[in-house]
Amino acid sequence: MRGIIGVGGHVPHHRLDRSEVAAFFGKGGGRGQRAVASYDEDTTTMGAAAARRALASAPGVSPASLWFSTSTPAYLEKTNATTIHASLRLGPSVDALDFGGALRSGAGALRTALTAGGPTLVVAADQRDGLATSSDEVAGGDGAAAILVGDAADGPVIAEYLGCGIATDEFLERWRVPGAARSRSWEERFGEVTYGPLMTDAWEAALAATGLGVDDIDRLAVAGTHARAVSRNARRLGVADDRRIDDLSGTVGNLGTAHPLAVLTAALETASPGETIALMTLADGVEVMVLRTTDAIADFAPARSIAEQIATGGSISYAQFLSWRGLVAVEPPNRPLPNRPSAAASHRRDDWKFGFVGSRDRSTGMIHLPPARVSEKGGAVDDMEPVPMAETPGTVVSFTIDKLVYSPSPPVVFAVVDFDGGGRAPLELADCGPDEVEIGLRVEPTFRRLFTADEIHNYFWKVQPVRSSE
Amino acid sequence: MGSHGIKDQVAIIGMGCTPFTEHWDKSLDDLIIDAAHATYASAGIAQEQVDAFWFGTSQSAASGLAMGGPLKIHGKPVTRVENYCTTGSEAMRNAAYAVASGAYDVVMALGAEKVKDGGYQGLNAFPIPTDGTQRTLTAAGMFSLILPAYAEKFGVDEDEIRYAVAKIAEKNHFNGARNPLAQFRRETSAEQICQMAAVAGRLSVFDCAGVADGAAAVIMCRAEDAHKYTDDALYVKALSFVAGTGAGSLDPEYDYTTLPECKWAADDAYAQAGVTSPRDEIAVAEVHDCFTPTELVLMEDLGFSDPGQAWQDVLDGAFALDGRLPVNSDGGLKAFGHPVGASGLRMLYEIWLQLRGEAPEERRIADHGRKLGLVHNLGGYPGEMVSFVGIYGTKLG
3-state secondary structure A432-468: CCCCCCCCCCEEEEEEEEEEEECCEEEEEEEEEECCC
pLDDT band at B9 (very low <50, low <70, confident <90, very high): very high
Residue window 241-300, chain B: list those with CB within 8 Å of chain A.
Answer: 245, 247, 249-252, 254-256
Say yes or no: do domains B10-116+213-229 and B139-207+235-393 share a fold: yes
What residue ranges in B314-383 does DSSP mark as E strands? 372-381
> Kind and range of the H or E element at A385?
strand A384-388
A2-324 CATH choice from 3.40.47.10, 3.10.310.30, 3.40.50.1360, 3.40.50.970:
3.40.47.10
At A108 the three-state DSSP class reads: helix
Read off φ and ψ for residue B10, nearest 5 degrees: -130, 140
Cβ of B130 and A345 within 8 Å?
Answer: yes
- ipTM for the assembly: 0.90
- pTM for this prediction: 0.94
DSSP of A340-353? PPPHHHHHHTHHHH
CATH architecture of residue range(s) B139-207+235-393 = 3-Layer(aba) Sandwich (3.40)
User: Does residue B221 carry a catalytic annotation?
Assistant: no
Sheet holding A33-36, edge to edge: A33-36, A14-17, A314-316
Residue A433: half-sphere exposure toward Cβ, Cα within 13 Å: 10
- The per-residue pLDDT string of chain A (470 residues; one tens digit each, 9 = 90 and over) reads 999 999 999 999 999 999 999 999 999 999 999 999 999 999 999 999 999 999 999 999 999 999 999 999 999 999 999 999 999 999 999 999 999 899 999 999 999 999 999 999 999 999 999 999 999 999 999 999 999 999 999 999 999 999 999 999 999 999 999 989 899 999 999 999 999 999 999 999 999 999 999 999 999 999 999 999 998 888 899 999 999 999 999 999 999 999 999 999 999 999 999 999 999 999 999 999 999 999 999 999 999 999 999 999 999 999 999 999 999 999 888 888 889 999 999 999 999 999 999 999 999 999 999 999 999 998 899 999 999 999 999 999 999 999 988 899 999 999 999 999 999 999 999 999 999 999 999 999 999 999 999 999 999 999 999 998 76
Sheet holding A394-402, edge to edge: A424-428, A412-419, A394-402, A442-453, A456-465
Burial of B191 from C-beta contacts in 10 A (0-12 / 13-18 / 19+): exposed
| DSSP assignment letter at A180 | -
| Cβ-nearest to A398 among B120, B133, B149 | B149
Query: For all residues of chain A together, what is the average pLDDT?
Result: 96
Cα→Cα distances B93→A149, B11, B100, B266, B395, Å? 66, 12, 11, 15, 20
Residue A223: predicted pLDDT: 97
Query: For all residues of chain B together, what is the average pLDDT?
Result: 96
Is residue B124 within 8 Å of residue B115, measured between CB atoms?
Answer: no
Amino acid at A115: T
Is residue A221 within 8 Å of residue A237, measured between CB atoms?
Answer: no
Give me the mean pLDDT over the B80-108 stretch: 98
C-alpha distance from A66 to closest chain B C-alpha (Å): 25
Residue B216: predicted pLDDT: 98
Residue span(s) of chain A under CATH 3.40.47.10 come to 2-324
At A62 the three-state DSSP class reads: coil
User: Over the stretch A138-173, which tens digit does the pLDDT of each residue have?
Assistant: 999 999 999 999 999 999 999 999 999 999 999 999
pLDDT tops 70 at residue B125: no
Distance in angstroms (rounded) separating the CA atoms of residues B179 and B19: 10
Residues in A closer than 8 angstroms to B201, CB to CB, are 399-402
Rounded percentage of chain B residues whose pLDDT exceeds 90: 94
Residue A81: predicted pLDDT: 98
Residue window 111-130, chain B: list those with CB within 8 Å of chain A.
Answer: 120-122, 124, 127-130
Is residue A251 within 8 Å of residue A310, measured between CB atoms?
Answer: yes
User: Does residue B208 carry a catalytic annotation?
Assistant: no
CATH architecture of residue range(s) B10-116+213-229 = 3-Layer(aba) Sandwich (3.40)
| Cβ-nearest to B201 among A400, A407, A460 | A400
B200/A contact by beta carbon, under 8 A: yes
> In chain B, what are the domain boundaries?
10-116+213-229, 139-207+235-393
What residue ranges in B290-371 does DSSP mark as E strands? none
